[in-house]
Amino acid sequence: MKDKHRLKHLRKMTEGDLPTIMQGELASYPHPWTQKNFEDCLQNINYSCWVFEKSEQFAGHLVLSTSVGEAHILNLCIYPKEQGKGWGRKLLAEAEQIAKKHQAETCFLEVRPSNIAGIQLYQTAGYNEIGLRKNYYPAIKGREDAVVMAKTLF
């Protein structure tokens, strides 16, 4: 991957990062992950958890799982004040590079149908819709489906 597309300030997430991660998560989503979700991911050897820092400030985070030739992006988040600047695309590219280092051939993710910007990002990055998970996400009124997307990495 060319250097201009690499995030220079991506590092492994630690448990000490969780209070700041939770601030970003709460600011970014109407139905955020809990701190326990992140704690569990940090304890699982098949999960890879990362923090994106910009000017010594947290700007986003990434959680993905890898197993048996597959990767699954579980949480890719750019915090509100950094959105719309291309950081999501760069963080997605980093997720794919991490997946490749774990010998993943395919990368999967779920996205809310209401997340138009997310769907456009994933489509322009080469992801294709492969299915729908009914009532997957909590929503203000009931549940929202998830669009399942995948990309072949090799």
Question: If pLDDT is split at 50, 70 and 90, which confidence band does 7 have?
Answer: low
122 catalytic? Reply is yes
Which class is 3-152 in CATH? alpha beta
Beta-bridge partners for 70: 67, 106
Point out the catalytic residue in the list 53, 70, 82, 110: 110
pLDDT in tens, 118-154: 999 999 999 999 999 999 999 988 999 999 999 999 8
Point out the catalytic residue in the list 79, 122, 127, 137: 122
Where along the chain do its domains lie?
3-152
47 catalytic? Reply is no
How far CA 70 is from CA of 18, 73, 98, 137, in Å, comes to 26, 10, 12, 22
pLDDT in tens, 46-66: 999 999 999 889 999 999 999
pLDDT in tens, 24-35: 999 999 999 999
Share of the chain above pLDDT 70, in %: 95
Strands 142-152 and 106-111: antiparallel
